[in-house]
Amino acid sequence: MKPFCRLAAVLVLGVSATAARGDGGTMLLHQDAGPFTITLFAAPQPLQAGAADLSVMVQDRNSGEVLLDSVIDLSVAPEAERALQQTVRLSRGQASNRLLQAATVHFSRAGKWRLVLLVRRGNDAASLSTECTVEPGSSRAVLVWFYVLLPAGIILLFVVHQGLKLRQKKQEGISGTPRSVLRTENSWCKPAPLSKMNCHPDRSEPGFPATRH
């Protein structure tokens, strides 16, 4: 039993670390514009139809210093239908990495999308645009498959568990351990012993033993 305790502890602790993830996502664009150097990050990568996190870092073009007080507007629109443009203002509050400003953008469909960034700081302003390809969303399907297969995995584990238990019982039976006899009885389903006193005021209730026996 002991080696497996160790392994179980190691696995449990190992799994706890799997929630670590970066912030900002993958770099989509890194370019100088006006007095700024602008970097656009996107997550997930590749972009998929549905919600996506877009983050922007603005730096001073000359010194490389991160500019935290710039105002950033991001407009996205499908290439085919520019009329469906949506504009969001990015904020530091939405980014875990407070050097960035972020917003959640909803890509309603797969295909080519145009992204336009407008950055303003004091009297300075700069604009950048880029294209990106949004792939058909698969996150929902992945999610559904995960949750549908999860019970299947647990059932499989339970089957193994029951098999091991049965084998253990058989081995105990061979070695003559009396515990196996006790375990084959399902004590949970035996009726609870009735108390000696029986002062129920209304014995005519359905199911009450006095009316049945």
197 binds other proteins (CB under 8 A): yes
Least distance between other proteins and beta carbon 129 (Å): 19
Is 91:41 a contact under the CB 8 Å cutoff? Answer: no
Least distance between other proteins and beta carbon 85 (Å): 20
Least distance between other proteins and beta carbon 4 (Å): 5
| Residue list 88-107, contact with other proteins (CB under 8 A) | 92, 96-99
Least distance between other proteins and beta carbon 12 (Å): 7
Residue nearer to other proteins on the CB measure, 124 or 163: 163
Is 106:86 a contact under the CB 8 Å cutoff? Answer: yes
Residue 88 dihedral angles phi and psi, to the nearest 5°: -125, 150
CA atoms within 13 A on the CB side of 89: 5
Alpha carbon of 208 to those of 31, 72, 157, 175, 202: distances in Å? Answer: 82, 74, 41, 44, 9
The tokens describing 42, both together, are 């996107």
Task: Give 73: exposed, middle or buried? Use CB within 10 Å, 0-12, 13-18, 19+.
Answer: middle
194 binds other proteins (CB under 8 A): yes
| Residue list 117-146, contact with other proteins (CB under 8 A) | 139-140, 143-144
- The window from 42-50, 78-86, 113-121, 123-131 that contacts other proteins (CB under 8 A) reads 42-50
Residue nearer to other proteins on the CB measure, 11 or 80: 11
| Residue list 161-180, contact with other proteins (CB under 8 A) | 161-162, 164-166, 168
Q: Which of 62, 123, 131, 147 binds other proteins (CB under 8 A)?
A: 147
Least distance between other proteins and beta carbon 7 (Å): 4
Is 203:213 a contact under the CB 8 Å cutoff? Answer: no
